[in-house]
Amino acid sequence: MHYFENSAGAGNPVDLSIAELSVVDAFGEDIDPGQDVIPQLLDLDEDGLLDLVLGEQWGNLNFYKNVGTAEEFSFELVNEELGGVWVDNILGIQGNNVPHFYKNNSDEWVLLTGNEIGTIHRWNEISGNLDGVWNKQDSAFVDINDGQFSAPFIYDINGDAFPDLFLGNLRGGVTFYKGQFFDGIEEAQNFSPAVNIYPNPSNGLFSVEFSQNEKLPREVKVLNVLGVEVYRAGVSGLKQLLSLEGYSSGMYYLLGEYELGVFELGKLIIE
């Protein structure tokens, strides 16, 4: 594993140069758990220091805890079979584990793992359970398979509060999946907020009525067609007034922020 440093300084184009040709652990030994190593830096144990998780060819995860400081890292191998994670493969020999951890809207760790056959596994029950076995929530996350040796990465790149998915594969391409809600695929499939928006189209004044049989969202927000948030308000009752007078004419998206995540409530047309 190589280590590159950015010497450009804040606000300047990246200027990377190799600082360590082979990164060593806290005991001076090369960090080399196996072939096809895929690293991710993250503060998994939440002690304020970036730790190192390495996926590898055999399908497992290696956890190296940062026992150094924020200014000078020092990694010590803690677990070679982190979370009991193992990914699928074709011949039962190697899985090629590509890990990506992210936080859900409950501030809990979730893990996506790419693998040799191209699916994505999703794992939870991670936070506070680093020494235990994690739950394999999905064997084929949202039924995506864009080719062998999948490599997932979650990031809200368009700033619309939905986590987007980037997926690499053996061919070298990257597929972009635009997020539709925050997290909880199964829960979301069974949840469809019922709202009545009127008048629609309007001059910018909209009434939004929520069903009496459903939980209210904490907030509603409006995005333009570029996915940029232009309006946000807290929800205090079954009827919510949105004042978008003076906004440009066109179509907007109304979203509700619920405990399960962020859901689209409907489209708004300003004439």
pLDDT digits (tens, 9 = 90+) for 135-163: 998 888 877 888 899 999 998 888 777 78
Contact 252, 230 (CB under 8 A): yes
Per-residue pLDDT for 181 more than 60?
Answer: no
Class of domain 192-270: mainly beta
Per-residue pLDDT for 189 more than 60?
Answer: no
pTM: 0.67
Task: Please tell me the predicted confidence (pLDDT) of residue 164.
Answer: 85
- Average pLDDT for 24-49: 95
Neighbouring C-beta atoms of residue 82, cutoff 10 Å: 22
Task: Please tell me the predicted confidence (pLDDT) of residue 259.
Answer: 65
Task: Please tell me the predicted confidence (pLDDT) of residue 260.
Answer: 59
Distances, alpha carbon 205 to alpha carbons 201, 246, 247, 254, in Å: 9, 10, 10, 13
pLDDT digits (tens, 9 = 90+) for 101-138: 999 877 899 999 999 999 999 999 999 999 999 999 88
Neighbouring C-beta atoms of residue 236, cutoff 10 Å: 8
Quickly state the pLDDT bin for 183 (edges 50, 70, 90): low
User: Domain residue spans in the chain?
Assistant: 33-187, 192-270
Task: Please tell me the predicted confidence (pLDDT) of residue 186.
Answer: 40
SS3 15: coil
